[in-house]
Amino acid sequence: MKSYLGQIEQTPLEQRWPLVRKWMDEEPFALYEELRELRPVLELPELTIVTRFSDCLSVLRQHDIFTVALYKPKQGDFWMSQDDTAVHWREKSIMRSVLDLEQLADIRNYVAAKASSLLKNAQGSIEAVNGLCRAVPIALVQERFGFDESDPKDLFEWSYWNQYDAFHNQAFDSVVVEDPEAIIANRKAASQKMGAYLVKLIERRAAELQAGNPKDDPATRLLKLSMSGSLRDFDIPRILPNVGGLLIGSVETTSHAAINALAGLLARPEILKQAVCAAAKDDPTEFDGYVFEALRFDPAFPYFFRFCEQKTQLAAGTEYACEITPGTTVMAITHSAMFDEIAFPEPKKFNPTRSETNAFHFGQGLHECLGRHIGRQMIPEIVRQVLLLPEVQADGPIDNQGGPVPERYLLTWNNSCAS
């Protein structure tokens, strides 16, 4: 049996994190199993890694100790880069209210129709990343979130570079990112273009309100709230990043999760047969379990990172207790946590009936995903529409093209049998 810890201890300090990161990408299950058992809190020069469920949960739920300070250079004063502030609570609450979750069934129906149309027009073969899993949320943002008169290519660029820089271009990513400054430059350029578009969008929405012909979308709802004067410190400059956040949070996360789930199901023939049967049922509840169980094995976000603000202890009360000092970057490897048998019985078994309570697909704690309810509908419905195709299969593995997210994944099916 390979001893990861033994190799780590024999490796010079400056080479340990690059080695561990390589294993995380190439052989995560064996690595995490050993760390959970023998070194659940692994201290490296660049960061500290935690792999057990209880410690990952502690990191994500103790927002006063483990903060999102590392987001701030990328996101400025957006509420997501703040912990337990008035801005955070006020604007997150506003965004939750304007998303109108009573329309979840309508959103799922929209996603089903859009995905089905794209697949039908593809006539037996599709590059699923750009042709489907990015295309569907971009269309949703345009038609349901108010981003009309926009170019889908622009929306993709704005979302892509903001996501890339915030979540895949931190200091600890330097071992896998060749040109961090280029990513920052791309994010700044994308944000500038998006900002110009959003100003014009809000101007159009304001004109429509004055003309007595308002749209019914989140952008208009935010404008109404601002113009009402009933909310403190919620002027137009505060509206713009929140509208932009709807786009940034919708596209790449949805695409990555849907592609990973598809690949996971297509790679398991017996499970695939069961999932296809579930996909054909009118009630999607059973089918959704297959998608999120597939994501447990290959999540879009295998970890979340936080910044330690005050001295604390992880794995307290165990022989592995470890003191974390202020200034430490802590990586909660939630992929590993979802294979901790304390919270996930028989973790190596593919079980589509598992409760999602302990899962980390949408995060946990204060920074749980704002759009989790929409993602909870959109991701499995995209996958479901693919599995309704006859004899669908992947023509090769997911291709990340050297980056952090799927860029190409070719699917084919028997078009002569498709209706």
pLDDT at 418 over 80: no
pLDDT at 191 over 70: yes
Structure confidence at residue 229 as a pLDDT band (50, 70, 90): confident
Interval 302-313 mean pLDDT: 98
Fold of 69-302+359-412: Cytochrome p450 (1.10.630)
**pLDDT computed for residue 181 by the predictor:** 98
Interval 333-362 mean pLDDT: 97
**pLDDT computed for residue 275 by the predictor:** 98
Residues 253, 130: contact at Cβ < 8 Å? no
Domain boundaries, the chain: 69-302+359-412
| C-alpha torsion sign, points 49, 53, 57, 60 | positive
Residues 6 or more apart whose CB falls under 8 angstroms from that of 378 comprise 107, 108, 111, 136, 137, 140, 254
User: For 147-176, how does the pLDDT look when each residue is reduced to its tens digit (9 = 90+)?
Assistant: 999 999 999 999 999 999 999 999 999 999
Residues 303, 332: contact at Cβ < 8 Å? yes
Quick one: what percent of the chain has pLDDT higher than 90? 94
| Burial of 402: CB neighbours in 10 Å, binned 0-12, 13-18, 19+ | exposed
Interval 29-43 mean pLDDT: 97
Structure confidence at residue 1 as a pLDDT band (50, 70, 90): low
- Please name every residue paired with 329 in a beta bridge, in sequence order, or none if there are none: 307
Interval 97-102 mean pLDDT: 87
Q: What distances in angstroms separate CA 371 from CA 95, 97, 117, 327, one per listed residue?
A: 9, 11, 24, 30
**pLDDT computed for residue 179 by the predictor:** 96
Backbone angles phi, psi at 3, to 5 degrees: -100, 100
User: For 242-290, how does the pLDDT look when each residue is reduced to its tens digit (9 = 90+)?
Assistant: 999 999 999 999 999 999 999 999 999 999 999 999 999 999 999 999 9
**pTM for this model (two decimals):** 0.96
Structure confidence at residue 233 as a pLDDT band (50, 70, 90): confident
Helix pair 269-279, 251-266: axis angle to 10 deg:
120
Closest CA to 406 of 194, 127, 215, 159: 127
pLDDT at 90 over 80: yes
**pLDDT computed for residue 5 by the predictor:** 97
pLDDT at 314 over 70: yes
* Torsion region of 149: left, alpha or beta (phi above 0 gives left; psi -120 to 50 gives alpha): left
**pLDDT computed for residue 38 by the predictor:** 96
Q: Where are the beta strands (DSSP E) in 29-164?
A: 41-43, 48-50, 66-67, 125-127
pLDDT at 419 over 80: no
